[in-house]
């Protein structure tokens, strides 16, 4: 895979996560997410005007507030200084803490950039600089992370190349990073 950075003009149009050629007939780009994420008992709902107002006051931005879906137990006061892009679904929230060993963090989402993610109930997501295309489970802690990026050709250690994908998308693991001379395919 090439390591190149490309400049994309700002045309305010979103590129679908799953391109048309890989979509089954009659399905949209979210069909896999929809099968993996259980819809809340009361369903997803759009943000109310007062919730958007509070989110903006809390220094949050979104490319489209209509793409943020929440449960009836959403607490906008727990969401501060974030940027949201794409379809983001946020589960139940409460004014509480999550603790794992000695680490204790407030439930909520702060100082993060979130693109097209499903976020479970009672999570603590703080200082995640780039989180894209992930399904985050209930009571998860994500803290002080630079990048968690899932692409439409992520391999997750399996090393597979899907039908129709070129071999160049396979990722090699550098065993000796200093020399880059020994590659291992997961």
My answer on whether 97 and 161 are in the same domain is no
Give residue 186's domain range.
153-186
My answer on whether 67 and 44 are in the same domain is yes
My answer on whether 165 and 129 are in the same domain is no
My answer on whether 47 and 95 are in the same domain is yes
pLDDT per residue rounded down to tens, the chain (186 residues): 567 888 877 765 666 777 777 788 888 888 888 888 888 999 999 999 999 999 999 999 999 999 999 999 999 999 999 999 999 999 999 999 999 999 999 999 999 999 999 999 999 999 999 999 999 999 999 999 999 988 776 666 555 666 677 777 766 655 555 555 555 544
My answer on whether 53 and 130 are in the same domain is yes
My answer on whether 97 and 25 are in the same domain is yes
My answer on whether 170 and 114 are in the same domain is no
Buried-exposed string 14-40: b where 16+ CB fall within 10 A, e elsewhere: eeebbeeebeeeeeebbeebeeebeeb
My answer on whether 143 and 93 are in the same domain is yes
Please choose, from the candidates 77, 76, 62, 69, the residue with its C-alpha nearest in 3D space to the C-alpha of residue 40.
69
Round to whole Å and give the CA distance between 158 and 57. 43
My answer on whether 94 and 160 are in the same domain is no
């Amino acid at each position: 895979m090439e390591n190149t950075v490309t400049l994309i003009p700002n045309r305010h149009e979103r590129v679908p996560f799953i391109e048309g050629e890989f979509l089954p007939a009659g399905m949209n780009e979210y069909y896999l997410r929809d099968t993996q994420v259980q819809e809340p008992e009361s369903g997803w709902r759009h943000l109310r005007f007062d919730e958007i107002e509070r989110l903006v006051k809390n220094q949050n931005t979104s490319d489209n507030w209509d793409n943020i879906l929440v449960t009836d137990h959403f607490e906008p006061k727990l969401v501060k200084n974030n940027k949201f892009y794409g379809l983001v679904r946020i589960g139940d929230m409460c004014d509480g803490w999550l603790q794992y060993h000695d680490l204790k963090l407030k439930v909520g989402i702060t100082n993060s950039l979130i693109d097209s993610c499903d976020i479970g109930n009672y999570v603590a997501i703080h200082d995640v600089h780039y989180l894209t295309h992930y399904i985050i489970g209930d009571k998860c802690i994500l803290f002080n992370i630079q990048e968690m990026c899932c692409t439409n050709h992520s391999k997750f250690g399996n090393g597979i190349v899907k039908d129709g994908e070129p071999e160049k998308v396979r990722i090699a693991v550098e065993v000796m990073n200093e020399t880059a001379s020994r590659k291992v395919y997961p």
